[in-house]
Structure 1
């Protein structure tokens, strides 16, 4: 795989539309800058694209090579050790400072309702092995917004991508009053740095039990946890649903084994705490260092694929 040359170095934007839906996409970070339903803003975003250059909260970005956290900013693979960029204390978060969210992608408008973004991550970028060609297709299909993500590596390497929208569903005062339902009764135990221990815990009607709908604000200490989905679930069933006080609802469908849910409780200026909630389907965090977790190692013969479907409805 030959590295691409002549990458863009200026922020470009493209807009896709279908019926009552409109989405703005940036080439920087493959960021979804805005998503509107009947002119109601559904996600957080900056009006000025240049503000994303200094954003530390990953608003709307595609994050990776490996989403979430890797302990000690290191892992072993096939007898070799790899040291990564440590950008959250001693750990790596969302691929490090050179992650996908900090790169300029090639942006192409396919048709009125679809765009394509591509980026080649070079061997050693962020400390990760192998060249990888990433492609993200973003398409509006009636009431649905679909992200189709692929990654073709030239050698075995860990890959786990997450789409990092902060969903608001038009709420100006935050999402604590929104109801959340998850197709999960299990989550990963984490330490005070957000690193999974390897243990999978049952929610057992504790504050993280969203198997039946309850308000996001009911988790008084905030939510920043990875929830595991059933392996044998029907892919046509929802993995998450958010319902706003106005009756606007977002249903999430995913082929991933789980999702990080972040209630935005630590958002700071220029945003207010709990202004948006993230549902980030991906592989298990810290999977390269925990053998009991599903593998996120992909190869030339077994490339990475993910599909994320977001559907809007009104009650």
Structure 2
């Protein structure tokens, strides 16, 4: 394992690691999936990150980011979320993508960007930039895609900037798939967290969690989180069809407005608070129903149902198959740009 701020490309079996620090905030990164493996926030002592608490889920061993997967803290794509049947209609041709989730494509396929070794282009004590080339035909997607992700830290803030270019039309929808556990990684279920989402609409799904095409008002539903609610209260709404389908929340929320704005808030029992800001059209909120004790985390504990909550800023899922959804198509000559910030107090 190599560490530090070198710019040598990483190779399988030898992931590159980087640590960024600002005030009482520390972020650990690894080249596999350009993943956030730890996010330490200062404990009550105020003695800095060495006394901090890790508030994201991660694998116990770095090799598991490639060998096991699970999207813990990784960059996912080319096209985050689900694509119906892996069908990509484009310019009169339907491209068949790799299907890895109940006959659909999830997060770019079984060997998506989350399983790749990214190249560390450069790093300082407070920022790091990773790059990756996804070749034409990768997981069935057309065009060669050049992707860069820049992480930067300042006191209380982690920022993530994505850029991408292509030599042929292709869908691009990038996000980070961190699972947050604000009472500490391995502390148990997050049902006691308060969750708020700055959205007045969400996308209901079919049984296989592909959007139906409807944009539904949250008013009068368990998905109305414009005023923060305890996650356990939403999970208890088992009579709601959409809660039943997802085993909680695994839905895209439509955040009104343009530019960098708040998308969601999360507060643990500990009082630690996270605000997620982004310029994306929405956010996928996932309450971690799939954790079943088979993954062993950073602290050595096993992750059970609800061990973490994912807040994935992104474009609409399955937009390539819904003309009414905002397009996620990137064309030659264009540059995909997006920014997300995690504000921690």
TM over 0.5: yes
Distance 1:108 1:79 in 2: 37
2:30 and 2:192 mapped to 1: Cα distance? 30
What secondary structure, in the 3-state scheme, does the structure 2 residue paired with 1:196 have? Answer: coil
**After superposition, where does 1:98-117 map in structure 2 within 5 Å?**
98-117=111-130
Does the CA-based 8 Å contact 2:202-2:215 persist in structure 1?
A: yes
- Residue of structure 1 in register with 2:282 after alignment: 258
Retained in 1: the 8 A contact 2:75–2:175? yes
Residue 18 (structure 1) shift? 1.0
**What is the CA RMSD across the aligned residues, in angstroms?**
1.3
Cα gap change, 1:7 to 1:122, in 2 (>3 Å): farther
Where do 1:172-211 residues align within 5 Å? 172-211=187-226
The answer to whether the 8 Å contact 2:69/2:114 transfers is no
1:35/1:41 contact within 8 Å kept? yes
Compared CA separation, residues 98 and 136, structure 1 to 2 (3 A): same
Q: Give yes or no for the alignment of 1:228 onto 2:251.
A: no
| Contact kept in structure 2, 1:157 and 1:298, CA below 8 Å | yes
The answer to whether residue 38 in structure 2 is matched with residue 34 in structure 1 is yes
Partner of 1:8: 11
- Number of corresponding residues: 306
TM-score (norm 1): 0.94
* Contact 2:57/2:180 (8 A) holds in 1: yes
Confirm or deny: 8 A CA contact 1:14 1:109 kept in the other structure. no
Q: CA deviation at 1:110?
A: 2.1
Shift of 1:219: 1.3
Distance 1:41 1:161 in 2: 24
Task: Tell me the equivalent position of 1:3.
Answer: none
2:179 alignment partner, one of 138, 141, 166: 166
Q: How far 1:170 sits from its partner (Å)?
A: 2.8
1:205 CA drift (Å) = 2.8
TM-score, normalised relative to structure 2: 0.86
SS at match of 2:320: helix
State how 1:1-315 maps to structure 2 within 5 Å.
Answer: 8-9=11-12, 10-38=14-42, 39-171=52-184, 172-220=187-235, 221=243, 222-230=248-256, 232-233=257-258, 235-269=259-293, 270=295, 271-313=303-345
Distance, in Å, in 1 between the alignment partners of 2:182 and 2:311 is 13
Aligned-pair CA distance for 1:90: 1.1
Q: CA deviation at 1:56?
A: 4.0
Q: 1-side partners of 2:64 and 2:125: how far apart? A: 26
CA distance in 1, matches of 2:72, 2:10: 22
Map Cα deviations across residues 74-133 of structure 1 (whole Å, 9 max, x no partner): 111111210000111210000001210011110244211111100000000000000011
Instruction: Give CA-to-partner distance per residue, 1:252-300, whole Å, 9 cap, x none.
Output: 1011111110001221223111010000011100000110000001112
- Structure 1 runs of 4+ with >3 Å offset: none
1:188 and 1:249 map into 2 onto residues whose CA distance is: 26
Q: Is the CA contact 1:260–1:282 (under 8 Å) kept in the aligned structure 2? A: yes
Q: Give yes or no for contact 1:105–1:119 (8 Å, CA) kept in 2.
A: yes
CA offset at residue 53 of structure 1? 2.3
Q: Aligned with 1:35: secondary structure? A: strand
Q: 1:154 deviation in Å?
A: 1.1
Which segment drifts farther, 50-59 or 194-203? 50-59
Q: Which runs of 5+ in 2 are unaligned?
A: 1-8, 43-51, 236-242, 296-302
